[in-house]
Structure 1
Amino acid sequence: MTGRAAPPLLTTAYLEAAALHYLERFASSRANLRRVLLTKARRSLAHHGGEREEAEALIEAVIARLAGLGYLDDAAYAEMKTASLIRRGGSRRAIQAKLAAKGVAAETVRAALEEFDPEAERAAAWALARRRRLGPFRPPAARAAHRDRDLAALARAGFPGEIARAVIDAETTEADPADDPTRDMA
């Protein structure tokens, strides 16, 4: 005995309730919600039996219904996720990879990244450096010893070399867009 309760029988009502419960807690793309519901369906099918094709048809119907009601919108999800990842210090490449992993179509990702200009990428690199205490956010005595490591961290995060060098080699944090008192006045 594993101590885990038997999964519910697979019905449209159960899948819709599970989808709504998931969407209450997390923003999601259609493909990601499909993966979540397929996991639940596999557990139910393993315990109660049934055909995978029928489960997939039920899942597609639930996804279509929720999309029709406006609960699922891949374009809005991509824009929201892009803005969030930029604030956290995500590079263009990292954002593309994360959205692709969530099943967002390439055209939708491109549309969400249209406003991701070089200035936004530079601001994201500064945000990551601030969050991880890289470059000018390190104690001055440790900066030179960690320069290569800091550059590598920004490179692994997907930032172009010129942006990574500009951030890591900055003398002070005054170039950090977050320090600009006029940035929110637009």
Structure 2
Amino acid sequence: MVFAAWPVYSPRMSDAKPARKPPRRISATSLENAALHYLERFDSTALNLRRVLERKVRRAATHPDAAVDAEQAAQWIAAVVAKMVRLGYVDDRRTARIKAESLFRRGVAPTMIRRRLALLGAPGDAADEALAALADTADGDLGLAAAVTLARRKRLGPFGKAELRAERRDRDLAALGRAGFDWETARRVVDAARPEDLEADA
């Protein structure tokens, strides 16, 4: 009986990296399609959408076979972003409002909300409007309302175990401080006698 010989193992047979698949050719159409695909999933500011498209162009340019004209790509990106704004798919104020509401519901401090909106590319006036709208819903004390929400989520102060409150006071104050709340707001929340007292104020 004759047995077929097993192939001799060579590291090159299994360890060799496959050749990089060339990226899709960058064009005005491909960038517009990329923008539409992104906006189907996320709300975006104009600045953030521009950054997304710029990253796509940079990734394409790293391929050895790519032929990307940076100046032409920049013009295409500007045109695509302008078109998305014109069609109403991109609205800085709407995005700032939606993002601010989402962060506020999670107990994010107003100062941190403003910082997150800036990172998202929201203009200062759009952030101002979003925070003002939130303040109206919180009867003006936006910081306290957000701190109460976070304390409830993290079981800080009166939302935690009564027998551990004194032991955990400093830790709870520090947690609110790290989250961006000022000392007076943190102290007011942590030292409240009952959750009901805070919820009535917030």
After TM superposition, the score normalised by the length of structure 2 is 0.81
Gaps in structure 2 of 5+ consecutive residues: 1-16
**Which residue number in structure 1 is paired with residue 61 of structure 2?**
45
Contact 1:87 1:127 in 2 (8 A): yes
**Which residue number in structure 1 is paired with residue 175 of structure 2?**
153
| Aligned equivalent of 2:49, options 33, 48, 64 | 33
**Which residue number in structure 2 is paired with residue 183 of structure 1?**
none
2:140 corresponds to 1:122? no
SS at match of 1:9: coil
Identity of aligned residues (%): 46
**Which residue number in structure 2 is paired with residue 71 of structure 1?**
89
**Which residue number in structure 1 is paired with residue 24 of structure 2?**
8
Structure 1 Cα separation of the partners of residues 81 and 20 of structure 2: 27
Residue identity matched to 1:95 = I
Structure 1 Cα separation of the partners of residues 92 and 134 of structure 2: 18
Q: How does 1:83-98 map to 2 (within 5 A)?
A: 83-98=101-116
Residue identity matched to 2:106 = R
The Cα of 1:6 is off from its aligned counterpart by 2.5
The Cα of 1:51 is off from its aligned counterpart by 2.1
The Cα of 1:28 is off from its aligned counterpart by 1.1
Contact 2:101 2:134 in 1 (8 A): no
**Which residue number in structure 1 is paired with residue 123 of structure 2?**
105
After TM superposition, the score normalised by the length of structure 1 is 0.88
Show CA shifts across 1:97-151 (max 9, x none). Answer: 0001111111221222223434232111111111122112221222212211111
Structure 2 Cα separation of the partners of residues 7 and 39 of structure 1: 13
**Which residue number in structure 1 is paired with residue 163 of structure 2?**
141
| Aligned equivalent of 1:173, options 195, 198, 201 | 195
The verdict on how the C-alpha distance between 1:3 and 1:162 changes in structure 2, with shifts beyond 3 A counting, is: farther
**Which residue number in structure 2 is paired with residue 184 of structure 1?**
none
Gaps in structure 1 of 5+ consecutive residues: 181-186
The Cα of 1:176 is off from its aligned counterpart by 4.2
Show CA shifts across 1:60-91 (max 9, x none). Answer: 11100011000000011111111111111111
Residue identity matched to 2:47 = A
SS at match of 1:115: helix
The verdict on how the C-alpha distance between 1:145 and 1:96 changes in structure 2, with shifts beyond 3 A counting, is: same
SS at match of 1:114: helix
SS at match of 2:149: helix
Contact 1:78 1:108 in 2 (8 A): yes
Show CA shifts across 1:31-68 (max 9, x none). Answer: 11111111111111222122222111111111000110
2:100 corresponds to 1:82? yes
Tell me how many residue pairs correspond in the alignment: 180
Structure 2 Cα separation of the partners of residues 109 and 115 of structure 1: 10
The verdict on how the C-alpha distance between 1:165 and 1:68 changes in structure 2, with shifts beyond 3 A counting, is: same
**Which residue number in structure 1 is paired with residue 186 of structure 2?**
164
Contact 2:45 2:120 in 1 (8 A): yes
